[in-house]
Amino acid sequence: MIELKDVGKVYHASDGDHRALDHINLKIDDGDIFGIIGESGAGKSTLVRLLNLLERPTEGQIIIDGDDITNYEGRQLRELRANIGMIFQNFSLFQQRTVLQNVMFPLEVRREPKAQNAERAHELLRLVSLDDKASRYPSELSGGQQQRVAIARALANRPRYMLCDEATSALDSRTTVQVLDLLAKINAELGVTMVVITHSLAVCRHICNRTAVIDSGHIVEEGLTANVFANPQSKVARELLEWGFEKAPESSESISSEETDYPEEVGA
Ligand SMILES: Nc1ncnc2c1ncn2[C@@H]1O[C@H](COP(=O)(O)OP(=O)(O)OP(=O)(O)O)[C@@H](O)[C@H]1O
Ligand SMILES: [Mg+2]
């Protein structure tokens, strides 16, 4: 379980201090696919980057599996990051590495035996239906395929949690559904708890059992996704409903075959 207690974040920017998050209280249960939805600049990426300490909170506690992680350094930090996979909007694959080498990267960082790494990477590529593309380079894949490689890489260390920051924003609606359905399968079959950051109502509705709405650094409402959007309490949620007339994606039966800000420390 992930619990945020009175978490705040102030950035010290070149033009002065900026409060990105204020008094955030959230509980993400094991097995959840937890959506965090809000407009651009609301603080979504900041919030998700606090969970694996790519950013440190200014105030408050972040409790993961009963432990306050906010002061983790060294070995504890490395273990935390191995336990939390992350995927991004722009896939963030290493362009000079093949698909297989991308998936092996987090294992190499942990200095696992090489033969075992390749075996594990092939197993993960089979899970995302891309084992036949193992020797290709990212530039030789479609966007949806690249995101599936990124998902396989994020799972390399058998994390209990996965953070998805606008993971489908660069994809068309059909490919979005394929990637969302893959995330739902990973949640159901491997028991990986997901935190899904999005500005899309359709994404929340498609896979998130719970949703929190964030506005200007504040959580303005939170609950079962169906309830939040059946009876929105906040102005932002009402606006998302009013303006978010994207068609809800239909479920896909199967996955068809169709630049880099991946922080190296995520793989560590
Ligand atoms: N490194 C930084 N230094 C200073 N301010 C920052 C920094 N990163 C983000 N911010 C500010 O914090 C606020 C929240 O940014 P954040 O990236 O979390 O928003 P977001 O909800 O992810 O937006 P988007 O949907 O556009 O990705 C913004 O006002 C942004 O300008
Ligand atoms: Mg963002």
The single-letter code of the amino acid at 106 is P
Among 178, 143, 183, 179, residue whose Cα is nearest residue 162:
183
Contact 213 CB / ligand 1 (< 6 Å) = no
Dihedral class, residue 74 (left if φ above 0, else alpha if ψ from -120 to 50, else beta): left
Confidence at residue 115, expressed as pLDDT on a 0 to 100 scale: 85
User: DSSP secondary structure string, 68-121?
Assistant: E-TT--HHHHHHHHHTEEEEETT----TTS-HHHHHHHHHHHTT--HHHHHHHH
Q: Three-class SS of residue 66?
A: coil
Distance 58 CA to ligand 1 centre (A): 15
Between CA 139 and CA 141 the distance in angstroms is 6
Residue 101: pLDDT above 90? Answer: yes
Confidence at residue 110, expressed as pLDDT on a 0 to 100 scale: 81
Among 67, 57, 66, residue whose Cα is nearest residue 21:
57
Residue 129: pLDDT above 70? Answer: yes
Alpha-helical (H) ranges within 128-246 are 143-154, 173-190, 201-207, 225-230, 235-243
Map out the domains of the chain as residue ranges. 2-267
Residue 44: pLDDT above 60? Answer: yes
Residue 242 contacts by C-beta under 8 Å, 6 or more apart in sequence? none
* Interval 192-235: pLDDT, tens: 999 999 999 999 999 999 999 999 999 999 999 999 989 999 99
Atom of ligand 1 nearest to the CA of 49: 18
Confidence at residue 252, expressed as pLDDT on a 0 to 100 scale: 55
* Interval 12-23: pLDDT, tens: 999 999 999 999
Beta bridge partners of 211: 35, 223
Mean pLDDT (the chain) is: 91
Neighbours of 242 (CB within 10 A): 9
**CATH 3.20.20.140 holds for 2-267:** no
Confidence at residue 9, expressed as pLDDT on a 0 to 100 scale: 98
Instruction: Name the pairing type of β-strands 210-215 and 59-64.
Output: unpaired
Distance 43 CA to ligand 2 centre (A): 7
Between CA 79 and CA 203 the distance in angstroms is 30
Residue 246: pLDDT above 70? Answer: no
Pocket residue to mutate for ligand 1, from 22, 46, 196, 197, most atoms within 8 A of Cβ: 46
Tokens of 192: 């990986």
Atom of ligand 1 nearest to the CA of 47: 18
Please check whether residue 64 is in contact with residue 52, taking contact to mean a CB–CB distance below 8 angstroms: no
Confidence at residue 258, expressed as pLDDT on a 0 to 100 scale: 36
Atom of ligand 1 nearest to the CA of 18: 5
Distance 65 CA to ligand 1 centre (A): 27
Give the sign of the dihedral formed by CA 96, CA 102, CA 107, CA 109.
positive
pTM of the model: 0.91
Q: Three-class SS of residue 245?
A: coil
Residue 265: pLDDT above 80? Answer: no
Pocket residue to mutate for ligand 1, from 21, 37, 45, 166, most atoms within 8 A of Cβ: 45
Between CA 46 and CA 259 the distance in angstroms is 20
* Interval 179-194: pLDDT, tens: 999 999 999 999 999 9
Higher-confidence residue of 241 and 161: namely: 161
Residue 239 contacts by C-beta under 8 Å, 6 or more apart in sequence? none
Side-chain half-sphere of 219: how many Cα atoms within 13 Å? 19
Residue 245: pLDDT above 70? Answer: no
Confidence at residue 256, expressed as pLDDT on a 0 to 100 scale: 40
